[in-house]
A and B are shown apart, each in its own frame.
Chain A
Amino acid sequence: MKLNIHIPEPTKPIPDIRTGEGLLQWLSTVDHKLIGIMYLCTALLFFVLGFGEALMMRIQLMRPLNNFLSPEAYNQLFTTHGTNMIFLVLTPMLLGFATYSLPLMIGANEMAFPRLNAFSYWIFLLGGLILYASFFAGGMPNVGWFSYAPLSERFFSSTKGVDYWVISLLLMGIGSVGAALNFVVTTLTMRTKGILMNQLPLFVWMVFVNSFLILAAFPVLNAALFMILIDRQFDAHFFVSATGGSPVMWQHLFWGFGHPEVYILALPAFGMVSEVIPVFSRKPIFGYEFIAASSVAIMLLSFGVWAHHMFAVGLGTTFNAFFAASSMLIAVPTGIKIFNWIATMWGGSVQLKTAMLFALALVVNFTIGGLSGVGFSLVPVDWRLTDTYFVVAHIHYVLIGGSLTGGFAAAYYWFPKITGRMLSEKIGKWHFWLYFIGFNCTFFVFHFLGLLGMPRRVYTYPDLPYLGTLNLFSTISACVFGISFILFFWNIFYSLRHGKIAGNNPWNAWTLEWLTSSPPQQKNFEKVPLVRSRRPLWDMLHPEDPDWKRENKNKIKKTGNE
C-alpha cells in the first residue's frame, strides 16, 4: 500500500515583512524558504555578537600585560566566541542555505518533513538563547568550547555557565539531527522525475553526505554532554579520576564529535563553491565523480582522526601512529577537491564576479588551513604546535577561510534568488578585498606567534621578542576585517531596496533553482521538465549539445571498450 503524505502547498508568494501578514507568518511557517531565511538572519545576528567578542579579545591582546579585560572576562569571552561561531553562526548559515536551496535544486516543492524543519530551527534558536541566558545567571561558561574535564566539573567551575552551555548544545544538537534527517529523506524521496543520485548538484550531494556525518557525530556529543551534566548535577564521576572516572574519556568523546564537526562545517561550503566555480567558469565541474566520491571518503575517514587533537596526552607511539596515518590520509580527498576546482577554471571563460572571488578565496585560504592541518598529523611537529597560536591560525583558516568564505560565495550567488534583487557588485568587490586582506593579515601572523611560543587561550602574555608587535598588527588587521562586514551589511541593506532586479536566472546557471521565479512563489515549481543530466538548464538552452548526450556517450564508450 502506498502511503500518501499530504504536504500543504499554499500558492501565495512569500510574504514580505512589510505586508499585512507580517511576523505571524514567519513564526508559524513550515515553508523551507522562510525557515532558510530565518536560519540565515539568525546566523547574521549571532555573527555580530561573536565578532564583538573577538574584537574585545583582540583589544586585550594588542599589547603585552594589557589590563583591558579581567582574566575571568577574557575566559568567558573566548569560550562564548568559539561556541557562538561554531554552533550559532556557521551551523545555521550552512543549514540555512541547505534548507533554502536543497529542495529547489532537486525540483521539490517542500522538504520531506516541513514541521520537523520548523521544529529544528526553533529548537536551535532556543539553544542559542539559552547559551546567552547564562550571562544573567551568574556568568557565561568559561572553560572553552571544548570544555575539558575535570576543569568543567562543578568542583572547578562552580558557576552555572557550564550547565547552560551543556543544555544549549544539547538542544542545538537535537535541532541539527532533525535537520540532517530531513535532508537525507528529502534527497532520497523528493527528487523530481529523472534526477539520479549521480546527477545531483554537488551542493545537494555534499549536504546529503554531510547529513550522515551529523546523524552519526551529534549523538556522541549529546551522550558526552549528558554525562558531564550528570556529573555536575548529581555528583556522578564519569570524568573524575579520584573516584574512578577518566578525564581523558571526555576528550575521546568530545573529539569523536569535534573532528567530524569540522567537516560538517566544511563539506557544505565545499558544495557551495562546487556550484559557484563551474557557473562562473562557464564549464561543468571537473571530475564530478571524484569530488562526490572524495566527500564520501572524507565522511568515513573523519570518524577515525579524532585523536590527533590528543597527541600531547601521552597515549603511546602505536596509538599516535594510527591517528597520524588517518589524519594524513584525509588530506588526500581534500586535495582532490582543490585540484578539481582549479581544473574547472582552466580552459573555461572565467567571470570574476564577487561570488567567484569568494569561491577562489576559499580555494587559496582553505589550502593554507589544510596544509597546516597536515602539519599536526606529523606527531613530533604537533608536540611543538598543539595548543599554541599556530592552532588558532589553523582553525580560523579552516572555519573562516573555508566555511565562512564559502558562505559569502553562496550569499552573493543565491541572494538574487532569495530576494529577487542582485547584491551590488561594486560594494561587493570592496567587501571582498577588505575581507581577504583583513582576514589574512589578522590570522597569518598567528602562525608566527605559535612558533614563537605563545600558548592559546591566554588572556595576556609576557613581553617576549616580537609578541607585542605581531599581536598589535593582528588587532589592527582585525579592525579592517570588521569593516568588511559592515560593508556586507550595508550591501544587503542597500540592495534590498535599490538592487538590480534579478530575473529568474541572472548568472545563466544550470541547476533547477534558477528555473523558477526570483524569489520563488510559495509553491516552488508549477512544472519541472524531465531531468536527464547534471545541468538541466544547460540542456534546455543548448538542445543541439545537451549534457545527457555527452554523459551517455561516455557510457557508450565505456561499454564499447568492454
Chain B
Amino acid sequence: MGRILNSIHRFFSEMSRSSSPNEDYINKLFLWFLILAAIIMIIVIVAVLIGAIHYRSSRHQGEPEQITGIKWLEISWTIIPLLILLIFFYFTVRFMKDIDQPVDKNQQADIIITARQWWWEMQYSKYNFTTANELHIPVHQKLLMRVESADVIHDWWVPELGRKIDAIPGTSNYSWLEASDTEEYKGACSEYCGTQHAGMRILVISETKNEFDQWVQEQQKVPSPPVDSVGQRGMRLFSERTCAGCHSISGIVAVSHIGPDLTHLASRKTLISGVLTNTPKNLYLWLQNPQKLKEGSHMPNFILSNNELEALVKYLEDLK
C-alpha cells in the first residue's frame, strides 16, 4: 500500500515539477484550478448518476410531472460560476504581471536565443560569444532572454523554468529566466515548426556562480589548434569539404551562421539539438549520414570516407 502511494506521489510530483519562481506561480494557479475542476466534475458525475439511477423509469409509473424550469435555480447557476471566475480572473492578471515583469527600454538582454529549423542559437551578448543548443545559466539570477526566430515560428519551453515564449520571425520577444536549483533541465520546441519539430530539444544547465564564470571563460577562449596529424587533417577537411560554409569555429576561417557554432563542440553534452549524447561514436554516425539520425535536417550527407570521418571526429571532439 505504501509503495503504491509512494509511486502515485512520485508520478504527481513529476507532473508539477518546478525550479523557478515563475513556475511556482503557474503551479499554484494550476493547483487551485485543479481543485475547482475536480469539485465541479464530481458534482456533475454524481448528479448524472442520480438522474440515471434514482430517476430511472423502472422505479416510476406513468409520465412524471411536466416541469419546465425553476427560475431561481437558473439564476444561481449563472451567477455562482461568474463569481468564481471573477476570483480566478483576479489571480490570472496578478500572476501574469508577476511573471511578465516589464522590460526597461534600454535594458540589454543577457541571452539572445535565435530559434532555427531545428536547433537553437544562443548568444551571450554581454560576454561576446555564441553557442548552440545548451544553455548555461547561473543559479538564482534573474536573466533577461530575447527570443527570436530566423525562419518559422518556434516556441521556447523548459517546463521547470516557467512560461513558454514564441520565437517569431521579425519580432523580438522578451522573457525572464531564473533557476532556483543547480540542475540540468530538459525542454523542447513547443510550436510545430516542420519536419524535425520533435528533434528540437533544449538543455539548460544551471550552475553555481563560480562554475558559470569558469564555463564563460572557457567559451570565450579560442580553442588551440590540433597538434596530432589526424586532428590537423580534420581541420583541413573542415574547410575543404565546405563544413565552414555553414558552421563557424573561432580561430579558423569559419564564420558562417547557417548551422550551429561548433567552437566548443566537445564541451557540450548533446549533439544535434539534444537528439544524441555527445560521444565520438555518435558524432561519427551523424557525419556519416545525417539524414539517418535526423531525417529532414538541413545538414546534407557529404559522403565522407571512413578516414575522413575519423579525422573530422578527432578534430571536432578536441574542440574544448
Interface residues of A (CB under 8 A from B): 70-72, 75, 142-144, 148, 150-151, 156, 241-242, 246-248, 281-290, 312-314, 317, 320-321, 324-325, 328-329, 331-332, 335-336, 338-340, 342-343, 345-352, 360, 363-364, 367-368, 371-372, 374-375, 377-381, 383-384, 386-388, 448, 451-453, 455-462, 464-466, 545, 547, 550-551, 554
B64 x A336 contact (CB < 8 A): no
Interface residues of B (CB under 8 A from A): 11, 14-16, 23, 25-26, 29-30, 33, 37, 40-41, 44-45, 47-48, 50-52, 55-57, 60, 62-70, 73-74, 77-78, 81-82, 85, 88-89, 91-93, 95-97, 99-100, 117, 151-153, 155, 157, 159, 162-166, 168-171, 173-175, 186-199, 201, 274, 295-296
B155 x A378 contact (CB < 8 A): no
Bound form: Cα–Cα A372–B196 in Å: 29
A286 x B69 contact (CB < 8 A): yes
Shortest C-beta distance, B23 to chain A (Å), equals 8
Contact (A328, B26) CB under 8 Å given A282-B63, A462-B201? no
B190 x A283 contact (CB < 8 A): no
Bound form: Cα–Cα A336–B66 in Å: 20
What does DSSP make chain A's interface, helix, strand, loop or mixed? helix
Residues of A within 8 A of B97 (CB): 317
Residues of A within 8 A of B166 (CB): 312-314
A325 x B89 contact (CB < 8 A): yes
B170 x A246 contact (CB < 8 A): yes
A352 x B56 contact (CB < 8 A): yes
B197 x A457 contact (CB < 8 A): yes
Bound form: Cα–Cα A457–B14 in Å: 22
B295 x A71 contact (CB < 8 A): yes
Bound form: Cα–Cα A363–B40 in Å: 12
In the complex, residue of chain B having the shortest beta-carbon distance to the beta carbon of A333: B78
B99 x A380 contact (CB < 8 A): yes
The one of B64, B88, B99, B189 in contact with A378, judged by C-beta atoms closer than 8 angstroms, is B88
B44 x A350 contact (CB < 8 A): no
Residues of B within 8 A of A72 (CB): 195, 295-296
Q: How many contacts between A and B, using CB within 8 angstroms?
A: 267
Bound form: Cα–Cα A132–B164 in Å: 35
The one of B44, B55, B96, B165 in contact with A348, judged by C-beta atoms closer than 8 angstroms, is B55
In the complex, residue of chain B having the shortest beta-carbon distance to the beta carbon of A243: B170
**Could you say which of B100, B169, B193 has the most chain A C-beta atoms within 10 Å of its C-beta?**
B169
A371 x B186 contact (CB < 8 A): no
Bound form: Cα–Cα A391–B155 in Å: 15
Shortest C-beta distance, A340 to chain B (Å), equals 8
The one of A283, A320, A329, A346 in contact with B96, judged by C-beta atoms closer than 8 angstroms, is A320
B56 x A350 contact (CB < 8 A): yes
Residues of B within 8 A of A340 (CB): 69, 74
Residues of A within 8 A of B44 (CB): 338, 342, 363-364, 367
B67 x A150 contact (CB < 8 A): no
Bound form: Cα–Cα A332–B84 in Å: 10
A455 x B196 contact (CB < 8 A): no
A332 x B78 contact (CB < 8 A): yes
A150 x B152 contact (CB < 8 A): yes
Contact (A336, B165) CB under 8 Å given A246-B170, A380-B26, A381-B29? no
**Could you say which of B51, B77, B81 has the most chain A C-beta atoms within 10 Å of its C-beta?**
B51
B198 x A464 contact (CB < 8 A): no
Shortest C-beta distance, B185 to chain A (Å), equals 10
Residues of A within 8 A of B198 (CB): 71, 455, 458-461
Contact (A288, B29) CB under 8 Å given A332-B82, A346-B51? no
A342 x B192 contact (CB < 8 A): no
The one of A150, A324, A335, A457 in contact with B89, judged by C-beta atoms closer than 8 angstroms, is A324
Other than the known A156-B117, A241-B170, A246-B170, what 15 A-B pairs have Cβ atoms closer than 8 Å?
A: A143-B192, A241-B171, A247-B168, A247-B170, A248-B171, A283-B64, A289-B69, A312-B155, A312-B163, A313-B166, A335-B81, A383-B26, A384-B159, A453-B188, A458-B188
Bound form: Cα–Cα A16–B164 in Å: 57
Shortest C-beta distance, A288 to chain B (Å), equals 7
B168 x A452 contact (CB < 8 A): no
A465 x B152 contact (CB < 8 A): no
Bound form: Cα–Cα A561–B6 in Å: 63
Contact (A332, B81) CB under 8 Å given A283-B67, A321-B92, A378-B88? yes
B33 x A375 contact (CB < 8 A): yes
A283 x B48 contact (CB < 8 A): no
Contact (A328, B188) CB under 8 Å given A150-B152, A317-B100, A375-B37? no
Shortest C-beta distance, A243 to chain B (Å), equals 10
In the complex, residue of chain B having the shortest beta-carbon distance to the beta carbon of A153: B152
B85 x A329 contact (CB < 8 A): yes
Residues of B within 8 A of A374 (CB): 33, 37, 85, 88
A379 x B14 contact (CB < 8 A): no
| A–B Cβ pairs within 8 angstroms, 30 of them | A143-B194, A148-B152, A150-B153, A151-B153, A151-B192, A247-B168, A281-B51, A286-B69, A287-B70, A312-B163, A312-B191, A314-B168, A345-B51, A346-B51, A347-B64, A349-B64, A364-B44, A367-B41, A367-B44, A374-B88, A375-B37, A378-B92, A380-B29, A384-B159, A386-B164, A452-B15, A453-B159, A453-B188, A455-B189, A462-B274
In the complex, residue of chain B having the shortest beta-carbon distance to the beta carbon of A547: B66
Bound form: Cα–Cα A329–B153 in Å: 30
Residues of B within 8 A of A336 (CB): 74, 77-78
Bound form: Cα–Cα A352–B52 in Å: 7
In the complex, residue of chain A having the shortest beta-carbon distance to the beta carbon of B93: A321
A283 x B69 contact (CB < 8 A): no
A455 x B190 contact (CB < 8 A): yes
Which 6 A-B pairs rank lowest in CB-CB distance, beginning with the nearest? A241-B170, A345-B51, A458-B198, A383-B163, A451-B15, A314-B173
Residues of B within 8 A of A348 (CB): 51, 55, 64
In the complex, residue of chain B having the shortest beta-carbon distance to the beta carbon of A361: B48
Residues of A within 8 A of B100 (CB): 317
B96 x A380 contact (CB < 8 A): yes
In the complex, residue of chain B having the shortest beta-carbon distance to the beta carbon of A377: B92
A282 x B69 contact (CB < 8 A): no
In the complex, residue of chain B having the shortest beta-carbon distance to the beta carbon of A157: B194
Contact (A284, B68) CB under 8 Å given A332-B85, A364-B44? yes
Bound form: Cα–Cα A342–B74 in Å: 12
A151 x B96 contact (CB < 8 A): no
Bound form: Cα–Cα A7–B243 in Å: 74
A367 x B99 contact (CB < 8 A): no
In the complex, residue of chain A having the shortest beta-carbon distance to the beta carbon of B34: A375
Residues of A within 8 A of B33 (CB): 374-375, 378, 381
B41 x A371 contact (CB < 8 A): yes
B89 x A384 contact (CB < 8 A): no
Shortest C-beta distance, B176 to chain A (Å), equals 12
The one of A339, A350, A368, A388 in contact with B55, judged by C-beta atoms closer than 8 angstroms, is A350
The one of B48, B65, B73 in contact with A345, judged by C-beta atoms closer than 8 angstroms, is B48
Bound form: Cα–Cα A82–B37 in Å: 27
B55 x A346 contact (CB < 8 A): yes
In the complex, residue of chain B having the shortest beta-carbon distance to the beta carbon of A450: B15
The one of A288, A350, A465 in contact with B51, judged by C-beta atoms closer than 8 angstroms, is A350
Bound form: Cα–Cα A75–B195 in Å: 7
B159 x A317 contact (CB < 8 A): no
Contact (A328, B67) CB under 8 Å given A317-B97, A352-B52, A378-B29? no
The one of A151, A381, A466 in contact with B152, judged by C-beta atoms closer than 8 angstroms, is A151
Residues of A within 8 A of B92 (CB): 321, 324, 377-380
In the complex, residue of chain A having the shortest beta-carbon distance to the beta carbon of B175: A314
A448 x B82 contact (CB < 8 A): no
